[in-house]
Structure 1
Amino acid sequence: MSATAVDQQKKAPKDLRNVVDFLRSSKAGMKIRVGVLGGKRIDYFKGKSAIKAVMSPAYAKLKNVPKVTSEAEAQTLLHSIIPFAFFLRVERGQPSGSSSSSSKTLQIIREQQFKPEDYYAWFYEGSQWTTYVGAVAMVVIMLAGVMFPLWPPTFKLGVSYLSMGVLGLLGLFFAIAIVRLIFYIITVIVASPGIWIFPNLFADVGFVDSFIPVWDWDIKKKSGKK
């Protein structure tokens, strides 16, 4: 990132910086692509993806950001961010490698404006506080491991109990998975279409919901006709 871009980004108002931090986070749900600009790999996105993000319920819940109620307002807001060089309009060219699936080459366009169908390259990495916290946590864990022989006996005993508890929970989970599979195979034979114990055990739900209901028939849900 050039010093000029960094200087411009420092001039951005707080509310616009909050918008940029949101767009650069996973909460925005934007489709991020990887291109090649000046021989370096760089993230970029399509304009309509950013418009969709600032019109999403996740954005509406944010504080200290400009309100957006229409696509026109979203486009105006995103256009107002361009002068601060967090992202710039680019032209997408041919693949950078011999394969058609290689990252596309990007070229910055002199005329900067925000349009839904155009592409924009990121010149901002987003908030780095999670990286710093993770680095500090990693150092603390490593130091704690190295100094384990110096820990008081009560701490060592607590860690051993905690380790046994975690291993016990993992063992219980695998035992449940094996038992439910055996039970399902038996019920498929004697009571087709079969019964699953804890049918949501591996579903993308919360911890408690993974054990609700306790059992259910293995009946495929049919999608309604449109």
Structure 2
Amino acid sequence: MSDEVIAEQPSKELMGVAAYLYSPNKSGLRAREGVLNGRRVQFFKGKSALNALTRPEDGKAPRVSSREEAVEWAQELLDFQLIVRCDRNTGDTRQLSINPMQNFEEDAYFAWLYEGSQLMVILGGIGVVAVVLAGVMFPLWPSVLRNGTWYLSMLALGLLGLLFATAIVRLILYLITMVAAPQGLWIFPNLFEDVGFFESFVPLYAWEAPKDSTQAAGGASAAAATHIAAASEKKTE
């Protein structure tokens, strides 16, 4: 690897190739997790990377005309240290070690040093800092904002308490109706179901069908079906 290559910055096209391969949703390149010098990394086989680069044109893949051109792109990823060639240890295949020969081969393994776009990480860090600063500077907020925040927090706590109270009341009512009647009555039967917010409160109540009657009905239906089948066989004979 020459000093001129190291001094240069990776081209926009090369960074596009790296971003494409790094994203399994786009390239289909499924990397595995390993440990390289005590650090968790994602690694893949060279052949899989070439297959991802030479996939049929789908609008997401970079334009690579041949497998030889894909090898050239992969070698550039190595030259700019976006990936590194590594070997898998015999005893523990997750343990990796750097191969002194940093050339690209299909049957070799390569670990990612490229970490993808840092935009979301930066935005997340800015958001955390902003929330912390806002909490620290709460006494300096205008009285209108402080009062509004207090009312909103009380409203959230009130809604949370109402949810717990509703859950307790509906359970007590269900237990009472199970003893007093053959069926249990549920208030808001869809409250904890995987439905939308408004669907959780519809219907207002519902009776739970007894399991015994359901099983009996199923048994009666099965018996009726068996009887009909037997009668049909007799007619056929």
* TM surpasses 0.5: yes
Q: Relative to structure 1, is the Cα distance of residues 210 and 41 closer, same or farther in structure 2, using a 3 angstrom cutoff? A: farther
Encode CA deviations 1:90-144: one digit per residue, 9 max, x unaligned.
211145xxxx59x5132325152252x5421122233223232222222222221
Match of 1:224 in 2: none
Q: Does 1:83 align with 2:73?
A: no
1:149 partner SS: helix
Q: Relative to structure 1, is the Cα distance of residues 175 and 68 closer, same or farther in structure 2, using a 3 angstrom cutoff? A: farther
Does the 8 Å contact 1:93/1:104 carry over to 2? yes
Counterpart of 2:103, as a letter, is: Q
The equivalent position to 1:161 in structure 2, one of 134, 147, 151, is 151
Encode CA deviations 1:4-46: one digit per residue, 9 max, x unaligned.
7x946x5322132123234445756744412223xx4251312
Alpha-carbon separation, structure 1, partners of 2:65 and 2:152: 51
Q: Relative to structure 1, is the Cα distance of residues 88 and 105 closer, same or farther in structure 2, using a 3 angstrom cutoff? A: closer
Q: Does 1:152 align with 2:142?
A: yes
2:116 partner SS: coil
1:105 partner SS: strand
2:103 partner SS: coil
Alpha-carbon separation, structure 2, partners of 1:106 and 1:164: 56
Match of 1:43 in 2: 41
Alpha-carbon separation, structure 1, partners of 2:160 and 2:33: 37
Match of 1:93 in 2: 89
Counterpart of 1:17, as a letter, is: M
Taking every aligned residue pair, what percent have the same amino acid on both sides? 32
The equivalent position to 2:190 in structure 1, one of 177, 182, 197, is 197
Q: Does 1:141 align with 2:139?
A: no
Once the two structures are TM-superposed, the CA of residue 173 in structure 1 deviates from its matched residue by 5.5
Q: Relative to structure 1, is the Cα distance of residues 184 and 60 closer, same or farther in structure 2, using a 3 angstrom cutoff? A: farther
Alpha-carbon separation, structure 2, partners of 1:52 and 1:16: 17
Does the 8 Å contact 2:34/2:96 carry over to 1? no
Q: Does 1:124 align with 2:114?
A: yes
Alpha-carbon separation, structure 2, partners of 1:11 and 1:120: 21
Q: Superposition RMSD on alpha carbons, in Å?
A: 5.1
Q: Relative to structure 1, is the Cα distance of residues 150 and 50 closer, same or farther in structure 2, using a 3 angstrom cutoff? A: same
Does the 8 Å contact 2:50/2:71 carry over to 1? no
Q: Does 1:105 align with 2:96?
A: yes
Does the 8 Å contact 2:78/2:102 carry over to 1? no
- Give the unaligned 5+ runs of structure 1: 202-206, 218-226
Aligned residue pair count: 193
- Give the unaligned 5+ runs of structure 2: 184-188, 209-237
Q: Relative to structure 1, is the Cα distance of residues 209 and 147 closer, same or farther in structure 2, using a 3 angstrom cutoff? A: closer
Give the alignment's TM-score, normalised by structure 2: 0.55
Does the 8 Å contact 1:91/1:109 carry over to 2? no
Counterpart of 1:158, as a letter, is: G
Match of 1:15 in 2: 13
Flag the structure with larger Rg. 2
Comparing both chains, which one has the higher relative contact order based on Cα–Cα distances under 8 Å and sequence gaps of 6 or more? 1
